Amino acid sequence: MNLQCRIELAAKYKAGSQIARVLSEDWCTRELYCPACDSDHLTGSKPNNPAVDFACATCEQPYQLKSLSHWNPRKVVDAGYEAMLRAIRADMTPNLLILQYSSSWLVRNLLLIPKMFFSESVIEKRKPLAPHARRAGWVGCNILLSEIPSDGKIAVISDGVPVLKEQVREEFSRVKQLAEVPPSLRGWTLDVLRAIRRLEKPEFSLQELYGFESEMKSLHPQNQNVRPKIRQQLQVLRDVGLVSFVSPGSYRLRT
């Protein structure tokens, strides 16, 4: 994998954001493979959905690219808040690629968030644009990367070193069954998975997960039955192959 973007493509453009977009999109179509199947190419794809920058011609997985020169591992700015919530509820979010480039246009980091990991819990509403702004009152959102469980943050390039393609595909494949969980339920599934990850151990108990009860209540204020919901989501996580049941009340993360 050649990590250098083609700097000569920048000559036609003036705005920094436009240059970043052109160079990084060109890099992806040249160097990037599909993490979801064994296709070694992604193709540029715009006409139907403005949120989709690339698609895989083989498995049809959609990808959106965000390119940045500064890397904030906690959050990334996204588009409109309401549009994002609609996309999550309709299960229409693309997989997200976050690309960080260096001052010499080398790809330094590339992080893949599989689309199943976008839930309302990881979307932060931003302040409406000020009255004098061109789009006054418009409300954008941030994607809270810190709230996404590690299972949903797949490094493709890490500190200037490409991760093995086989490993990236294996990590994607490990979580792909989450797509079978309906989006109305998946927010809960991901919240429970994130709680499990925060325990930072491979084996855990139901009692330990109940420790997140009040936090989950505040994420889902309309739901009063948090404990049964946690137990139900453990079954969902078992069915999609991410958790195994060891004995009553005790569980193990599958890797």
Closest to Zn ion by CB, 59 vs 133, is: 59
DSSP element (H, E) containing 112: strand 107-113
Closest to Zn ion by CB, 63 vs 204, is: 63
Binding to Zn ion, residues 43-102 (CB under 5 A): 56, 58-59
Cβ count within 10 A of residue 249: 13
Q: Say whether residue 34 binds Zn ion (CB under 5 A).
A: yes
Binding to Zn ion, residues 152-191 (CB under 5 A): none
Token reading at 192: 């429970």
Cβ count within 10 A of residue 202: 11
Q: Say whether residue 37 binds Zn ion (CB under 5 A).
A: yes
Closest to Zn ion by CB, 180 vs 203, is: 180
Q: State the number of binding residues for Zn ion (CB under 5 A).
A: 7
CA 196 – CA 93 distance, rounded (Å): 24
Q: In the sheet where 243-247 sits, what is the strand order?
A: 203-205, 250-253, 243-247
Minimum distance, C-beta of residue 70 to Zn ion, in the bound complex (Å) = 30
Minimum distance, C-beta of residue 217 to Zn ion, in the bound complex (Å) = 39
Minimum distance, C-beta of residue 8 to Zn ion, in the bound complex (Å) = 30
Minimum distance, C-beta of residue 38 to Zn ion, in the bound complex (Å) = 8
Handedness of CA 82, 85, 90, 93 (dihedral sign): positive
Minimum distance, C-beta of residue 112 to Zn ion, in the bound complex (Å) = 12
> Is residue 108 helix, strand or coil?
strand
Applying CB under 5 A, which of residues 28, 32, 36, 88 lies at the interface with Zn ion? 36
Q: Say whether residue 116 binds Zn ion (CB under 5 A).
A: no
Binding to Zn ion, residues 204-233 (CB under 5 A): none
Minimum distance, C-beta of residue 59 to Zn ion, in the bound complex (Å) = 3
Distances (CA, A) of 99 to 74, 111, 160, 213, 221: 14, 7, 11, 35, 35
Closest to Zn ion by CB, 172 vs 212, is: 172
Closest to Zn ion by CB, 37 vs 179, is: 37
Terminal Cα-to-Cα distance of the chain (whole angstroms): 27
At which residue do the structure tokens 């595909």 appear?
A: 169
Minimum distance, C-beta of residue 163 to Zn ion, in the bound complex (Å) = 17
CA 199 – CA 124 distance, rounded (Å): 24
Distances (CA, A) of 81 to 65, 97, 194: 18, 19, 22
Partnered with residue 247 across adjacent β-strands are 250
Closest to Zn ion by CB, 37 vs 199, is: 37
Closest to Zn ion by CB, 169 vs 238, is: 169
* Residues engaged in binding Zn ion (CB under 5 A): 34, 36-37, 39, 56, 58-59
